[in-house]
């Protein structure tokens, strides 16, 4: 990876859920976030990469802050916490809450000075994230994100974007999100990605699918289970074949 390129990892988090989810216990969720944060730090500690843990429920993060001190990582890992708009989330869904996080990070001047923003759902670790980031930088892509079938949404859990595109295309996203009406953040973000491509920016196709580890909060899915690993092996195999033969599989 080019050592002159600075990257900020934004890990989005809601420890105390504002909507109904399968994994609802705040302490269990906090433990998920802490475990994932440890993996991210271990993977990127030696690189010019900082981490911003963004939490919007106001839950007590003492154990997480204590861990950062213990790791002597306070100059590289920041915690940004605010009380998100609960009525917004109740009316429009958790995707609107995540969009609000993007806005707050920008308006509080927390992302300036970086070349790239890597965003991940805070509960999950992406074991091949370092490779995907290196790939994007080496190819000079502007925005790397996975499209999904039937080509009407993207995988918003993980993406990498140049800072200037974050400013131009990801702010104010919440007004386009309403889960109750079937308008999810994945749909809204697809429109923004397509707009960026139309404006001449380069979409970066991942050479392999992001490999998630951890437990999904909404559905409780264990990504590292035997079934989860098998599912990834099949989907990623098809994806890599598509890359090799010039056919893109939207899985």
Q: Please list the pLDDT of the chain residue by residue as tens digits (251 residues).
A: 554 579 999 999 999 999 888 899 999 999 999 999 999 999 999 999 999 999 999 999 999 999 999 999 999 999 999 999 999 999 999 999 999 999 999 999 999 999 999 999 999 999 999 999 999 999 999 999 998 877 788 999 999 999 999 999 999 999 999 999 999 999 999 999 999 999 999 999 898 999 999 987 777 778 878 888 888 999 889 888 888 777 665 55
Burial class (CB in 10 A: 0-12, 13-18, 19+), 76: middle
Q: What is the CATH number of the domain that holds 155?
A: 3.90.550.10
Query: Is residue 2 in a domain?
Result: no
Query: Is residue 251 in a domain?
Result: no
How far apart, in whole angstroms, are the C-alpha atoms of residue 176 and residue 161? 20
| Count of structural domains, the chain | 1
The label of the residue with tokens 């996080």 reads 101
Helix (H, G, I), strand (E, B) or coil at 53: strand
Query: Is residue 31 in a domain?
Result: yes
Query: Which residues have CB under 8 Å from 3's CB, separation 6+?
Result: 47, 48
Range of the domain at 17: 7-245
Query: Is residue 77 in a domain?
Result: yes
Distance, first Cα to last Cα, the chain: 28
pTM above 0.75, yes or no: yes
Query: Is residue 144 in a domain?
Result: yes
Query: Is residue 22 in a domain?
Result: yes
């Amino acid at each position: 990876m080019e050592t002159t390129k600075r990257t900020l990892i934004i890990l989005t988090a809601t420890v105390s859920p504002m909507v109904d989810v399968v994994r609802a216990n705040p302490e269990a969720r906090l433990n998920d976030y802490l475990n994932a944060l440890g993996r991210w730090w271990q993977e990127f500690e030696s690189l010019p990469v900082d981490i911003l843990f963004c939490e919007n429920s106001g839950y007590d993060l003492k154990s997480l802050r204590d861990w950062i001190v213990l790791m002597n990582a306070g100059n590289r890992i920041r915690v940004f916490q605010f009380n998100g708009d609960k009525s917004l989330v109740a009316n429009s869904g958790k995707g609107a809450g995540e969009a609000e996080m993007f806005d707050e990070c920008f308006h509080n001047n927390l992302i300036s000075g970086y070349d790239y923003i890597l965003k991940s759902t805070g509960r999950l670790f992406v074991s091949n994230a370092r490779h995907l980031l290196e790939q994007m930088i080496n190819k000079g892509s502007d925005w790397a994100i996975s499209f999904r079938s039937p080509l009407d949404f993207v995988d918003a859990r993980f993406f990498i974007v140049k800072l200037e595109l974050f400013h131009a295309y990801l702010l104010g996203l919440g007004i386009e999100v309403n889960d109750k009406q079937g308008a999810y953040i994945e749909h809204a973000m697809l429109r923004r990605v397509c707009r960026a491509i139309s404006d001449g920016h380069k979409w970066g196709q991942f050479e392999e699918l992001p490999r998630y580890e951890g437990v999904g909060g909404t559905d409780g899915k264990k990504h590292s289970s035997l079934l989860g690993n098998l599912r990834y092996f099949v989907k990623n195999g098809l994806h890599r074949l598509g890359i090799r033969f010039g056919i893109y599989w939207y899985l």
